[in-house]
Structure 1
Amino acid sequence: MVPSPQEVKDALRERLLGHLTHLDPAYQALLQEYPSRGGKMLRGLLVVYAGLAHGATLEASLWAGTALELFQNWVLIHDDIEDGSEERRGKPTLHRLYPMPLALNAGDALHGEMWGLLIRGLNEGLFGPEVLAEFHQVVRRTAYGQHMDLLWTLSGRLDLTPEDYFRMVAHKAAYYTAVAPLRLGALLAGREPPALYEEAGLKLGVAFQIMDDVLNLEGDKAYGKERAGDLYEGKRTLILIRYLEEAPKEDRIRAEALLSLPREAKPEAEVRWLWERLLASGAVAWAKEEAKRLAQGGLGALIPYLDTLPGREAASHLQNLLTALVERRA
């Protein structure tokens, strides 16, 4: 019997928090802060159902899914510090609640716990070394994508194209969001992941990130992050890139002047002006169409293959999650 998504989420959360216990209660609270906020555990769910769909055991799938959720949490701590973000999952970011060095150290601790969990799973025979190798790919690709994203902001680059954005997001977000869960599902069952998983998964992961950028402008409080935070942080989103390509000269000059300022120096009125300009332009609708195109291409290629996997019920859950991923319903 394949567990329901809620049962899987509960199991992932229990394992995640249970792996972060410590004799020092204050330190434990720091480590558990982001995981205890809930979140959708989307990537963990994808790993579990991908594993079951390929014929892996539930225990191995939950183990790897928990490790990917640990990855997600330590990366978010570091990402929030690097971006100067204000909110995460509807609450202040960790470095706003605690001194920044303590938050940074907590991220390092979760990173270490991720590898510790994987080494235990390897030693207990739940999976082979190829699973650890896949996690290495997750870390290195995400780090490179983050490097590109930060470098663009720090260097003030505004001559970017949509293709630049797609390349950055493929590394920073798409690989660990969609490609790695699919590949891990196959690896957990001792199978070689098909090239299709990277080709289609990147399309789904990029579509997911585009819609995340859209929600940053349009989303309500349920979105869980600071509304228009991407503008304060100077993020070079697909929407912003498209807008700057098509904006009247005087509006582009004004927008670029705002984007050249550090977060703390950006006037709220100017941020609101740019926010309203983006929403009124065709850039948001264009970005949504790009996300739709990528999602349809990814799902269209992937679903026929998933239908051939041995775990039919789990494969059905996996397909539903991947569809919800790009529609932002997961």
Structure 2
Amino acid sequence: MTETLRQYAELTRTAMAEAIAGGEPADYLYDLVRDYTARKGKGLRPGLLLAAADACGAATRTALPAAAALELLHTAFLIHDDVEDHSRLRRGRPTLHELHGVALAVNAGDALANLAVRPLTSTAFPRYRSREVLAELRLAIRQTTEGQALELGWRRHAVVDLTPSDYLELVGRKTCWYTTMAPLRIGAQLGRWRPEPAALDRLGFLAGCAFQIRDDLLDLAPGGQTGKTPRSDVVEGKRTLVLIHLLSVADPAERAWVVDYLNREPDDRSPADQDQLLTLMSAAGSLAYAERFAAVLATAAQESLGTAFADVPPSPALDFLRELIDYLVSRTD
């Protein structure tokens, strides 16, 4: 699986580089745009899109402009997310706003979001496909920004009375649409065999939620995730499933302490207080709860994959897609 994912990622990065080549002013805009796109990620989103397209009978070269557009959009989101979350590292290097300031970083993110549609205007990509893919990207943008607004609003107003259902609603919008649902939907649109739509959306939702819970847990692991600031979610006070569970089971004194922690500004959450919050999460069984929750979602996702692609002929691409879904929901890095 790793080699196939690497190949998909390399093809997508090449297409992205072609889409954003040149442009002035370089020092203040296009060099910044190319910085993030050149930082090698795992390529999970284009991998899902290209594998789904291949499994449904579309040639990789046909689907590649859509994969490049989606990954360019994802990169624009990363730039803005890093500003909103005050993140200092992205893929092992300082974030764009740390290097160039918030104003130039935000502007570069805006430019990149606009450039994301450029691959869809290529003469090699059919015009009617462009309209279909653009409609999916617009839907993903709307859902993602609505989800991001929810998360930022909860943090701004110190919202603590939340349930797992609230978390799933948030993640369904903020993460699932552009991480799993849009790649699968777009890939399926490009092929001649069509998966069952409702099951495909269910697959994307379940896999995306499990992916985000896994991401939340990795952030809390010793050393954090590769290339990211360790336990950034704790510093930022993000309403993860782990935190929501802790708030629901902590005794009154401990819950009051957690609420007070969340009411502070991130700079006022000391390393000792961060350690204390992690200790409470562990003692309350919140980490184990999130692990079990993600495992249930992962099992349901694989069942949905079987239903969604029941009428799609067996192929190496479909086998890869199954392996990639497994990786998404059980990764350790």
User: Could you say which TM-score interval applies, normalised by the shorter chain?
Assistant: over 0.9
Instruction: Tell me the distance in 2 between the aligned counterparts of 1:163 and 1:5.
Output: 32
Listed as ranges, the gaps of 5+ residues in structure 1 are none
Moved more, 144-153 or 17-26: 17-26
TM-score normalized by structure 1?
0.93
Using the TM superposition, give the Cα deviation of residue 329 of structure 1 relative to its aligned residue in structure 2, in angstroms.
5.6
Residue in 2 that maps onto 1:16: 16
Question: Is 1:200 matched up with 2:195?
Answer: no
What is the letter of the counterpart of residue 211 of structure 1?
A: R
Conserved 8 A contact 2:218-2:225: no
Residue in 2 that maps onto 1:39: 41
Residue from 224, 229, 233 that aligns with 1:230: 233
Instruction: Tell me the distance in 1 between the aligned counterparts of 2:287 and 2:313.
Output: 40
Instruction: Tell me the distance in 2 between the aligned counterparts of 1:20 and 1:113.
Output: 7
* Offset from partner CA, 1:139-166 (integer Å, 9 cap, x none): 1111111111111001110111111001
TM-score normalized by structure 2?
0.92
Conserved 8 A contact 1:121-1:127: no
Using the TM superposition, give the Cα deviation of residue 128 of structure 1 relative to its aligned residue in structure 2, in angstroms.
4.5
What is the letter of the counterpart of residue 22 of structure 2?
A: H
What is the letter of the counterpart of residue 268 of structure 2?
A: A
Residue in 2 that maps onto 1:5: 5
- 1:96-175 pair list within 5 angstroms: 96-120=98-122, 124-125=126-127, 127-175=129-177
Moved more, 300-309 or 137-146: 300-309
Moved more, 264-273 or 298-307: 298-307
- The count of corresponding residues between Structure 1 and Structure 2 is 328
Residue from 50, 53, 57 that aligns with 1:51: 53
Question: Is 1:288 matched up with 2:291?
Answer: yes
Over the aligned positions, Cα root-mean-square deviation in angstroms equals 2.0
- 1:250-261 pair list within 5 angstroms: 250-261=253-264
Conserved 8 A contact 1:50-1:186: yes
Question: Is 1:75 matched up with 2:71?
Answer: no
Question: Is 1:273 matched up with 2:266?
Answer: no
Instruction: Tell me the distance in 1 between the aligned counterparts of 2:209 and 2:236.
Output: 20
Instruction: Tell me the distance in 2 between the aligned counterparts of 1:258 and 1:51.
Output: 46
Using the TM superposition, give the Cα deviation of residue 121 of structure 1 relative to its aligned residue in structure 2, in angstroms.
6.1
Listed as ranges, the gaps of 5+ residues in structure 2 are none
Q: Secondary structure at the match of 1:127?
A: helix
Residue from 203, 210, 224 that aligns with 2:213: 210
Using the TM superposition, give the Cα deviation of residue 83 of structure 1 relative to its aligned residue in structure 2, in angstroms.
1.6
Using the TM superposition, give the Cα deviation of residue 213 of structure 1 relative to its aligned residue in structure 2, in angstroms.
0.5
Moved more, 180-189 or 124-133: 124-133
What is the letter of the counterpart of residue 169 of structure 1?
A: V
Instruction: Tell me the distance in 1 between the aligned counterparts of 2:246 and 2:332.
Output: 27
Give identity over the alignment, percent.
36
Please list every run of at least 4 consecutive aligned residues from structure 1 whose deviation after the TM superposition is greater than 6 angstroms: none
**Distance 1:219-1:88 versus aligned 2 partners, 3 A rule:** farther
Q: Secondary structure at the match of 1:84?
A: coil
Residue from 241, 251, 266 that aligns with 1:248: 251
**Distance 1:160-1:133 versus aligned 2 partners, 3 A rule:** same
Conserved 8 A contact 1:51-1:185: yes
Using the TM superposition, give the Cα deviation of residue 184 of structure 1 relative to its aligned residue in structure 2, in angstroms.
0.8
Conserved 8 A contact 1:60-1:121: no
